[in-house]
Amino acid sequence: FVKVAVVAVENDTLIYFSKLSSKIDIELYTNQLLVLLVRCVYLYDNVRSICANVDYVEELLYIYRSSKNRATILLALKILRNIIPLLPESETTIITIKSSLDEFLFSIGNNFTKQNRTLETISELINVFRTIMSLKSPWQMMATQLVFNSIVSCGYLSPYCLGSVVNVYPNEESNEFDLALIIAINTNDQNSNSSEVLPYFIQYLQTNKTEWIAAEKLRIQIDFFAIKSIYIYKYQ
């Protein structure tokens, strides 16, 4: 039988579904549960805190790895994206998160040759990395370093693409800089050299502040190669 725990928002009790009659029933009830959890982790801080433990993460990873249902996979990844940054650091969680991020990154890169994952799944895997890299947590540097190592090993360093981690120099006369993530690009202005054109929309890693900025203020730090291959936002 399958036993699934769900956090009830009103009374924080656990509800168990068991002895489901068929594989279709399992997928149906699993997806209903995951939809509920997606809504809850988006809306309620206490639900995110409760779910941010290694048992929930491992259960969601099992669902992601074993399910053949596209919706189930996407829902599991959406929940993981929201709770991994809140996961406390320990010997067990370090092993779990490191192996999971390695697996996600391999799936992203491998998909461009074997096409063994849907575009929606790859997009959500990229969003997992973008979220972890943009939020201060024990896993932020781990995710950033994994991406950097992957880029170096592939010999791919194309500057200023969507998902690049950049150094932002607000003052040209100073060597001080802030780290930021490029989260959108106005491709109509991307090739302009004018200081008045602001083609890059960035999010600062320390403060989460967002703003449009000129290319001359940026220096490449880490380039997330896979995002460039999937998404380029265009602003008309």
Mind listing the pLDDT tens digit for each residue in 205-224? 778 889 998 888 887 765 54
Residue 107: strand, helix, or coil:
helix
The pLDDT tens digits of the residues spanning 151-203 come to: 666 554 455 777 778 888 877 667 788 888 888 888 776 555 556 678 888 88
Convert 105-127 to b/e letters by CB count within 10 Å (16 or more is b): bebbeebeeeeebeeebbbbbbb
- Residue ranges of the alpha helices (H) in the chain? 23-43, 45-51, 54-66, 70-83, 91-114, 119-134, 140-154, 225-230
DSSP state, 206? T
Taking 60 as the threshold, does the pLDDT of residue 68 lie above it? yes
CA gap 219, 175 in Å, rounded = 12
For range 81-87, the mean pLDDT: 94
30-60 per-position pLDDT tens digit: 889 899 999 999 899 888 888 999 999 999 9
Q: For residue 122, is pLDDT > 80?
A: yes
